[in-house]
Structure 1
Amino acid sequence: MTTTAQAGAQAPAAGPGGITDPGVYQMTNEEYHADRGSLSSSGARKLLPPSCPALFRHAQDTPQEPKKTFELGNAAHKLVLGEGPDLVRVEAEKWTTNAVKAEVAAIRDAGAIPLKPAEYEQVSAMADALRRHPVASLLFDPARGKPEQSLFWRDKRTGVMRRARLDWLPDVRSGRLIIPDYKTCRSAEPAALARAVDEFGYHQQDDWYRSGAQALGLADEDAAFVFVCQEKTAPYVVTVVEMDATARRIGAARNRRALETFAECTATGVWPGYSDEIAYLSLPAWAEIRDTEEYL
């Protein structure tokens, strides 16, 4: 298999439309997310119900304030993958004084992640627990791949430039290629993870990332995409999951709809909300059944 561009190459300066040459690029997280000419997996999910194109466009136009849950997840990613923003331990369990608030703001302004002492110990313990897991430790073996690789490729049917930022790009070697993605979660119990897949659209991410790897010649159709899911509370249990065929087909179909929606909205400049007409509503099925039995 050959790649369209050399893995790890520096990203070219993006013009108004963003990167236009398919390939695998080495870039910062900020540079990756700043590319407005391409569509990411998270963006594709934002275009479809229960969201809508108007919310997608607003999210692109409105910078997000740092959220503690995102910072903890990013900190865990840093220790697991070995790449990402610096982690700075702030020696204060409460960030209420003006001095500590100023210190935290300065850390964030410098592009680093501030952590309370207990949080620093938490993410360190999470990384240690993952390295003890017999499967996860191999999937993120520093000798077997590269972290944080950005993929750009063009969708043949719509002409939309697509992008994906792989947590880990394994080295091509004999056997089935397995591409892992690291997720922190409240529960790594399989049934809870199935609900999270539906809620956050992880089956779409599965198809999106495998499609990018295949389009760039990094993987064949037999390549697997797995989620390495780790609980954020002790003992930081890890579960590695792979989507079944039905989930992948549904994810692919939703991605196709999102690509078509993005192409149409980009061409027309119209980013609609949930409905442009009066919506006709029924009660939720469970409420209808409940009240029919009680009152009718």
Structure 2
Amino acid sequence: MKIIQNPTLPIDRPGVYAGIPLRRYHSADITVGPCVSSSGLRTLVEASPKHFFATWSGNPDAPPDEPSRAMILGSAAHHLLLGEDAFSTLYIARPDELADEWGEMKPWQGNRKVCKAWLAAQEQAGRIVLTSAELDSIKGMARELAKTPEVQEGLLNGLVEHSLIWRDAETGLWLRARPDVIPTDSGMFADLKTIRDTSIPSISMAMDGYDQQAALVWEGAEALGLEVESFTFLFVESDAPWDVVPIVVPDEDLAEARRANRAAIQMIARCIEKGEWPGRGYGDARVMGMGQAARERRAKRVEFIETMLGETF
């Protein structure tokens, strides 16, 4: 597998890339043409092309596509598993106190000039700033992940923070995926997901749409000549006791998700061609009645009111 290190953006050829900061990965200029990730495909399938375009980096009026704190915390926990050197290169803890212009230590306050200057220096160095509470949470997650049999057996071994970037053969759209690990000695891909609790209902709800992320990684790996054997999500609680639950995505779910991705990619290409981004109300007005459960609940309320009216009230 050939790795392309520290590429100059925008990227104009498919490949496995290293050294792309997370914020640049999410930027509009990541590739020479329009580029889409799994989050955008999920938005289109779950909502509409209009909703996708509203937040897509290819829309000049869209807000910046910043990585979520959950994504940052999961990535940081993974780096901590790899060792302090890998972690300290990309992350730094925000101090609780910082010396002012005269050398006197004072509590952190984001509006102070020295605090703003410190944050600017970290951004310039390419580091992500973490609070003390976030750092404690990351350490807890990393500690519990290290105890997980799947992790001890090497599930998270491989290339970390590498990006799969390729061009869709059918539509010409650029696609990107950034799995937590690109395995180098197997086809077992894995991704960390922070979650508030690891109960089955909570994980089941979180899994809605994650299969599209796994399916896009699968498609990208195939397009770039990489082996794909399985995809596992490691759900880890973001607070104590930092429980860890591995979930392997079934092959049938991956196949269905790949179909959903294909439809979304085709729709985006069509919308770009036409310059139109229809919403949920596209087409003729619909006739829609109440759901049966809501209809029964209201009927009971009306019956109660009518009963009251027929009595002495």
Are positions 1:202 and 2:210 aligned together?
yes
Are positions 1:291 and 2:298 aligned together?
yes
Match of 2:239 in 1: 233
Change in CA separation of 1:89 and 1:137 when aligned onto 2, cut-off 3 Å: farther
Using the size of structure 2 for normalisation, the TM-score is 0.76
Are positions 1:117 and 2:117 aligned together?
no
Q: Distance in 2 between matches of 1:26 and 1:148?
A: 7
Q: Distance in 1 between matches of 2:262 and 2:219?
A: 11
Match of 2:25 in 1: 32
Change in CA separation of 1:116 and 1:20 when aligned onto 2, cut-off 3 Å: closer
Q: 2:49 aligns with which of 35, 47, 53?
A: 53
Q: 2:5 aligns with which of 3, 6, 10?
A: 10
| Structure with max Cα Rg | 2
Contact 2:191–2:233 (Cα < 8 Å) also in 1? yes
Question: RMSD over aligned Cα, in angstroms?
Answer: 2.9
Q: Distance in 1 between matches of 2:69 and 2:261?
A: 29
- Decide which moves more: 126-135 or 59-68: 59-68
Are positions 1:166 and 2:176 aligned together?
no
Are positions 1:134 and 2:149 aligned together?
yes
Are positions 1:63 and 2:58 aligned together?
no
Runs of 4+ in 1 over 6 A off after TM superposition: none
Match of 2:223 in 1: 215
Q: CA deviation at 1:228?
A: 0.8
Contact 2:230–2:249 (Cα < 8 Å) also in 1? no
Q: 1:21 aligns with which of 5, 8, 13?
A: 13
Are positions 1:106 and 2:98 aligned together?
no
Gaps of at least 5 residues in structure 1 are none
Q: 2:94 aligns with which of 89, 94, 100?
A: 89
Q: Distance in 2 between matches of 1:245 and 1:45?
A: 19
SS in 1 for 2:211: helix
Match of 2:102 in 1: none
Percent of aligned positions that are identical:
32
Counting matched residue pairs gives 277
SS in 1 for 2:178: strand
Q: Which amino acid aligns with 2:250?
A: D
Q: Which amino acid aligns with 2:54?
A: H
Contact 1:189–1:239 (Cα < 8 Å) also in 2? no
Are positions 1:182 and 2:192 aligned together?
yes
Using the size of structure 1 for normalisation, the TM-score is 0.80
Q: CA deviation at 1:27?
A: 3.2
Match of 2:76 in 1: 75
> Higher RCO, 1 or 2 (CA under 8 Å, sep at least 6)?
1
Q: Which amino acid aligns with 1:46?
A: T
Q: 1:192 aligns with which of 176, 185, 202?
A: 202
Q: CA deviation at 1:196?
A: 0.8
Q: CA deviation at 1:76?
A: 2.8
Gaps of at least 5 residues in structure 2 are 98-106, 304-313
Q: Distance in 2 between matches of 1:172 and 1:62?
A: 39
